[in-house]
């Protein structure tokens, strides 16, 4: 099978977005941007042994590759539109490819994004997706807009992906519900979009709350005070902390892809409405101050957020 046949067989499904003039099958894809909109683009790689295990299902790997990129677009308040896929494969495994491509197709349909191009290469398994989205001019939520006195919020519950990973690494078998948290994170697309004009900074928690919130305060030139007692935790996490007193997991665990954002206090009731509308728990975890540091009340451990190297 040559690259052309591989793409035809596994990655060439009909596109429904009229903004795409040319998808897979040329030197490059062509995409129309409506006037008044800006292009928003992000790239994330999933690499074996780092983002997934050797024996993880191709369906989960495909899902997660898309989800982590969608999460970045969500954190900008933008709408995801289309993506390219760079797929490096050790060998031509048609069963793996079929499962991977079916999950990719299903997930892209669910989130209304179109695969418009890519590259297939031989080598150790590596999946890089570049996601492109759009946002109304000047409406994107950057990391740099947090101001002294703002509230700090987090969506959903944090630390569960790290807890699941910890169990796997310890040789325990996590429950199915716990595995879903690690392998099937939900990109907060709807929430990100609803926060436009309300949140003044936002980031998705991929490397751990402590590290990712630090990016916000650094970009915004402010400080923050967060209390561990306020962190939104699942029942499993509460149980884990009760027996281990290990707050590093929710504070520094990555891979949850929840949104951390800031907004002035006067938007608080609107944020409660958004939480109801999006059916997502949103929790106030602290306040922005003018100290330039991140203080975590109740935690005296060292930062243990994810380091890429």
Enumerate residues 31-50 that contact a copy of itself by CB under 8 A.
31-33, 35, 38-50
With beta carbons less than 8 A apart as the criterion, state whether 288 and 149 touch. yes
Span interacting with a copy of itself, options 67-75, 101-109, 237-245, 278-286, rule CB under 8 A: 67-75
**Bridge-based pairing state of the strands 37-47 and 114-122:** unpaired
* Contacting residue, 54, 91, 173, 176, with a copy of itself by CB under 8 A: 91
Query: What is the smallest separation between the CB atom of 194 and a copy of itself, expressed in angstroms?
Result: 16
Question: Is 6 one of the binding residues for a copy of itself (CB under 8 A)?
Answer: yes
Question: Is 15 one of the binding residues for a copy of itself (CB under 8 A)?
Answer: no
Nearer to a copy of itself, 266 or 307 (CB): 307
Question: Is 8 one of the binding residues for a copy of itself (CB under 8 A)?
Answer: no
Query: DSSP letter at 246?
Result: -
Three-state SS at 12: coil
Nearer to a copy of itself, 147 or 215 (CB): 215
Other beta carbons within 10 Å of 2 = 8
Please give the residues from 104 up to 133 whose contact with a copy of itself meets the rule CB under 8 A.
116-124, 126, 128, 130-133
Residue environment code for 265-286, b if the CB has 16+ CB neighbours within 10 A, otherwise e: eebeeebeebbeebebebbbbb
Question: Is 92 one of the binding residues for a copy of itself (CB under 8 A)?
Answer: yes
Report the candidate in 72, 76, 82 with the shortest Cα–Cα distance to residue 111. Answer: 82
Query: What is the smallest separation between the CB atom of 252 and a copy of itself, expressed in angstroms?
Result: 12
* Contacting residue, 12, 13, 56, 86, with a copy of itself by CB under 8 A: 86
**Placement of tokens 């780092």 in the chain:** 50
Question: Is 197 one of the binding residues for a copy of itself (CB under 8 A)?
Answer: no
Nearer to a copy of itself, 44 or 255 (CB): 44
Query: DSSP letter at 224?
Result: E
Structure token digits, residue 140: 């994107």
Span interacting with a copy of itself, options 164-172, 204-212, 271-279, 289-297, rule CB under 8 A: 204-212
Query: DSSP letter at 20?
Result: E
Query: What is the smallest separation between the CB atom of 24 and a copy of itself, expressed in angstroms?
Result: 11
Question: Is 204 one of the binding residues for a copy of itself (CB under 8 A)?
Answer: yes
* Contacting residue, 10, 24, 51, 254, with a copy of itself by CB under 8 A: 51
Query: What is the smallest separation between the CB atom of 172 and a copy of itself, expressed in angstroms?
Result: 25
E-assigned strand segments in 67-150: 79-89, 114-122, 126-136
Spatial distance between the Cα atoms of 294 and 217, rounded to a whole number of angstroms: 8
Query: What is the smallest separation between the CB atom of 52 and a copy of itself, expressed in angstroms?
Result: 11
Query: What is the smallest separation between the CB atom of 263 and a copy of itself, expressed in angstroms?
Result: 17
Between the alpha carbon of residue 242 and those of residues 169, 229, 235, 236, 246, the distances in Å are 20, 12, 11, 10, 8
Spatial distance between the Cα atoms of 238 and 119, rounded to a whole number of angstroms: 44
Nearer to a copy of itself, 182 or 260 (CB): 260
Nearer to a copy of itself, 107 or 211 (CB): 211
Between the alpha carbon of residue 210 and those of residues 181, 205, 251, the distances in Å are 19, 9, 6
């Amino acid at each position: 099978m040559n690259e052309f046949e591989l793409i035809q067989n596994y990655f060439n499904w009909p596109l429904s977005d009229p903004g795409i003039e040319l998808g897979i099958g040329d030197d490059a894809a062509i995409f129309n941007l409506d006037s008044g909109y800006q292009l928003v683009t992000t790239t994330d790689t999933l690499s074996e042994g780092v983002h997934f295990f050797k024996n993880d299902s191709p369906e989960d790997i495909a899902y997660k590759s898309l989800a982590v990129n969608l999460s970045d677009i969500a954190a900008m308040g933008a709408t995801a539109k289309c993506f390219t896929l760079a797929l490096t494969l050790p060998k031509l495994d048609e069963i793996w490819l079929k499962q991977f491509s079916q999950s990719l197709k299903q997930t892209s349909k669910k989130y209304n994004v179109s695969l418009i191009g890519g590259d297939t290469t031989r080598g150790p398994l590596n999946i890089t997706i570049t996601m492109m989205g759009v946002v109304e001019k000047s409406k994107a939520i950057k990391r740099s807009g947090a101001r002294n006195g703002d509230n700090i919020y987090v969506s959903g519950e944090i630390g569960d992906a790290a807890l699941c990973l910890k169990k796997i690494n310890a040789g325990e078998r996590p429950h199915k519900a716990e595995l879903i948290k690690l392998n099937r994170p939900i990109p907060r697309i709807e929430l990100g979009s609803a926060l436009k004009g309300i949140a003044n900074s936002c980031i998705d928690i991929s490397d751990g709350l402590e590290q990712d919130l630090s990016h916000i305060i650094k970009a915004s030139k402010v400080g923050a005070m967060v209390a561990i007692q306020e962190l939104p935790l699942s029942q499993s996490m509460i149980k884990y902390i009760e027996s281990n007193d290990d707050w590093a997991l929710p504070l520094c665990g990555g891979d949850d892809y929840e949104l951390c954002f800031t907004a002035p206090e006067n938007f608080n009731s609107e944020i409660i409405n958004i939480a109801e509308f999006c059916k997502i728990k949103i929790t106030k975890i602290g306040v922005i101050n003018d100290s330039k540091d991140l203080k975590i009340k109740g935690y005296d451990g060292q930062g243990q957020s994810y380091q890429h190297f």
